[in-house]
Amino acid sequence: MIAVHFPVGPLGCNCTVLGDETTGEAIVVDGGDDVPRIASVLEEHRLRPRYLVHTHAHFDHIGALGELRERVGGQGLLHPADLPLYEMLEEQGRWVGIPIARSPAPIDAELEDGLVLKSGNVELTCLHTPGHTPGSTSFVVEVEGKPRLLSGDTLFRGSVGRWDLGGTTLEDIVTSIRAKLLVYPDDTIVIPGHGPATTVGTERLANPYLL
């Protein structure tokens, strides 16, 4: 299986491309910006997306959905609890001083806890992890026989995502991490929404928000 992680956009959102080499089918996670680069990665590996999924509705994680879908295909998915936030896409840009000219593109289907998305031999399981946003969703996929977590802005190396942006609390995000992410083995690699990778064991032992 192909698993490629790379930052996109001015805020360095970690985008992930997961692909089946045999069928050429793929899933793109958090394709929020830099559409030409994402398309180039897909072309390099001869992949076509079946799904374009998003950990949450902040513009750096989902802002390019319409453009990306038009260029490479695939269905756009988001947890319904984040739809109100998604409708505020342009306003989000004003929060951080980055002009956003894109309007929210239509969502094709909803993510839900426990949903398994299949694209060729790639199986991506959705884990609803509210806290950073009400609809924040992490994903788990098996890579080389081991689970790998894509935690979005829920869990970072040595930290957790912001919980003060409306509708959530620190207790929510910590509860989600403990219930949905720390249940995996210590050697499980975690790819956060921004910054370097970590492991479940590292965060279990050293993350100050989880001690």
Give the model confidence (pLDDT) of 46-73 as tens digits: 999 999 999 999 999 999 999 999 999 9
Q: Reduced to 3 DSSP states, what percent helix, strand and coil does the chain have, rounded to the nearest 5?
A: 25, 30, 40
Q: What pLDDT, on a 0 to 100 scale, did the predictor assign at position 17?
A: 98
Burial zone of 166 (CB within 10 Å; 0-12 exposed, 13-18 middle, 19+ buried): exposed
Q: What pLDDT, on a 0 to 100 scale, did the predictor assign at position 12?
A: 97
Q: Positive or negative, the Cα torsion across 18, 193, 157, 82? A: negative
Bridge partner list, 155: 160
Query: Look-up: residue for tokens 């299949």?
Result: 118
158-209 pLDDT, tens digit per residue, is 999 999 887 899 999 999 999 999 999 999 999 999 999 999 999 999 999 9
Pairing mode, strands 155-156 and 122-128: unpaired
CA distances from 178 to 125, 188, 195, 205 (A): 17, 14, 21, 12
CA distances from 121 to 16, 19, 43, 114 (A): 16, 8, 19, 18
Q: Positive or negative, the Cα torsion across 148, 204, 155, 179? A: positive
What's the CA angle centered on 27, arms 33 and 119, to 5 degrees? Answer: 165
- How far is residue 61's CA from residue 30's CA, in Å, rounded to a whole number? 5
Q: Which DSSP category does 79 fall into?
A: -
Q: What pLDDT, on a 0 to 100 scale, did the predictor assign at position 94?
A: 83
CATH of domain 2-206: 3.60.15.10
Name residue 162's amino acid: R
Q: What pLDDT, on a 0 to 100 scale, did the predictor assign at position 73?
A: 98
